[in-house]
Amino acid sequence: MIDNDLDDVERVVAYGMNPQAHRYSPLDKLNRDTVKHLTPAWAFSFGGEKQRGQESFTLVHNGVIYVTGSYSRMWAVDARTGKRLWQYEHRLPEGIMPCCDVVNRGAALYDDLVIFGTLDAQLVALDRETGRVRWRDRIADFRAGYSYTAAPMIANDLLITGNSGGEFGAIGEIQARNPRTGEMVWRRPVIEGHMGTLPDGSETMTGTLNATWEGEAWKTGGGAPWLGGTYDPELNLIYFGTGNPAPWNAHSRPGDNLYSSSTLALDADTGEIVWHYQTTPNDHWDYDGVNELVLFDMEKGGETIKAAAKADRNGFFYVLNRETGELLLAEKFVNHVTWAEGIDLETGRPIETGARPGNPAATDGDRGESVTVAPAFLGGKNWNHMSYSQRTGLFYIPSNEWEMEIWNEPVTYRRGAAFLGAGFTIKPIYDDKIGVLRAMDPKTGEIQWEVPNRTPLWSSILTTAGGLVFYGTPEGYLKAVDDETGEELWKFQTGSGVVGQPVTWTMDGEQYVAVVSGWGGAVPLWGGEVAPLVRDISQGGMLWVFNFPKKRPSVGDYSGVDGSRAHLSTARRFSFGKTL
Ligand code: CA
């Protein structure tokens, strides 16, 4: 069911709408003509005093919605009525260390279980019917700076997780478990020199000791794969992005620092690394390479390429061959990328401009020479996922235009303490926008259209066969725009910033859309000069569910959400009346 989720329009059981993370639905009842009639069906409050960022993906199965919230909470809600069926609140210990807000991005369904990870780096498997704990296991020790915010993934009948903690020198690791019991099947650290475990219990080293790290630096080398992965069931490969190397001060760790800031393809049976592609060698700017690798088939020159695409924090959009890791295309998807001129397609390496912060050891004081560089460390795109439309063949990227001043300072590793050796301030580039929704052609790297947003875009994207692109804004809107032009067709004010992940499905013959609303995430915490722009946004914690009103107004009377029925042509009105 999970492997074929995209065709199963009555369920949403795979994070990203399918294991390839297309975030696309073949549903078209809701389309460019009809979307203006989309109306809230119900809304559900997460309640409590604790709100902050709500970034969860909504799962839908047999009329029940499973949604997670900030502070490691989860709910089962009746998808027809919004009635709460059960609630789970994880008891969090003192001293958890999430770097970038107390968010959770979603759960995984397996048999009669619903499984999610917590801020103290645990996995909790709950009974789908009752919400009672069936098993629990520890991903890593939160006291060392580990946490967990991603949605676990089911692939190859295994429960796959990464971890968070790259800002604390915590070593990134991908783990595979038996989803029924939580028992570990394999584990693969992503920094060279560390030992992983195969399913038969034997151990093998990741990479070659000291090949791309000098001395002992690999021991606290970071690389946390904190966003989760994608899966190709045919190739049986799991794809994961890895985070920044630690510390941020790259002067203390010469070398490429594999496999930090990379995309890895892992054998789903053993966890061994089949290929890797490093987007930012010897990263100096916190350009985590965690962003999702979206798997798609690309027709080019009369052949079908098993391709995959990634919009990286570093500002480049990459297209790779997903069988081999071969680089096929790399183009900027934001206007301002100043750390590199481009990517050499022969070697796959960036052509750097030299915009690296100075070495503090080369100065009299403690602070090295600063540089101003774009993108800012929060990235040309951050965690919030792009979408691949099977209808248009385009990628829809929630991008941000910003830069930063960054400098280095000496730093020593202390377990469970921030391990950066850097200071920084994020700055806007334009007066009127930071966020830009962009439609990117993966064959040419050309931007087809773009829609600016005043504040940073921090929600994931959903596309549909109805020609729609859904996304949220910190200003509180869930919006739908035309997938060919970017023209705004519909919007709804949810009452708090939307930094969640819209989904769609059908139920009782109606098409539904759901998204969580609740402002937070990394921007208000780390945003520097951008933070004041978003200071007045109200917090929240709501699940919003939309469909067409049950008792539909006649088209002639209907003035539409924005009061502009003039948009409906006679022909469209006729087809609207007929199709509904
Ligand atoms: Ca990072």
Catalytic residue among 286, 288, 312, 483: 286
Instruction: Give the three-state DSSP class for 321.
Output: strand
Residue 351, in any domain of the structure: yes
pLDDT, tens digit, 9 for 90 and up, residues 441-486: 999 999 999 999 999 999 999 999 999 999 999 999 999 999 999 9
- The Å distance, Cα 454 to ligand 1 centre, comes to 24
- The Å distance, Cα 355 to ligand 1 centre, comes to 18
Q: Which residues have C-beta within 8 Å of that of residue 424, sequence separation ≥ 6?
A: 376, 377, 404, 405, 406, 407, 528
Does the annotation mark 286 as catalytic?
yes
Q: Which residues have C-beta within 8 Å of that of residue 48, sequence separation ≥ 6?
A: 71, 73, 541
Can you give the residue range of the structural domain that contains 13? Answer: 5-570
Residue 19, in any domain of the structure: yes
- The Å distance, Cα 73 to ligand 1 centre, comes to 24
Residue 579, in any domain of the structure: no
Residue 565, in any domain of the structure: yes
The CATH number of residue 330's host domain is 2.140.10.10
Beta bridge partners of 117: 123
Taken in order 10, 15, 19, 20, the sign of the CA dihedral is: positive
Instruction: Give the three-state DSSP class for 95.
Output: coil
- The Å distance, Cα 460 to ligand 1 centre, comes to 19
pLDDT, tens digit, 9 for 90 and up, residues 531-574: 999 999 999 999 999 998 765 555 544 444 443 443 433 333 33
Residue 20, in any domain of the structure: yes
Write down the pLDDT at residue 548.
85
- Report the distance separating Cα 150 and Cα 163, nearest Å: 8
Residue 494, in any domain of the structure: yes
- The Å distance, Cα 287 to ligand 1 centre, comes to 7
Q: What is the mean pLDDT of residues 58-68?
A: 98
The total domain count for the chain is: 1
Q: Does pTM surpass 0.75?
A: yes
Q: Residue 365: pLDDT band by 50, 70, 90 thresholds?
A: confident
Residue 578, in any domain of the structure: no
Number of CB atoms found within 10 A of residue 535's CB: 8
- The Å distance, Cα 234 to ligand 1 centre, comes to 32
CA distances from 41 to 507, 518, 552, 580 (A): 12, 18, 13, 17
- The Å distance, Cα 225 to ligand 1 centre, comes to 10
Residue 576, in any domain of the structure: no
* DSSP notation for 404-435: EEEEE------TTS----EEEEEEESSSS-SE
- The Å distance, Cα 250 to ligand 1 centre, comes to 13
* DSSP notation for 105-136: ---EEETTEEEEE-TTSEEEEEETTT--EEEE
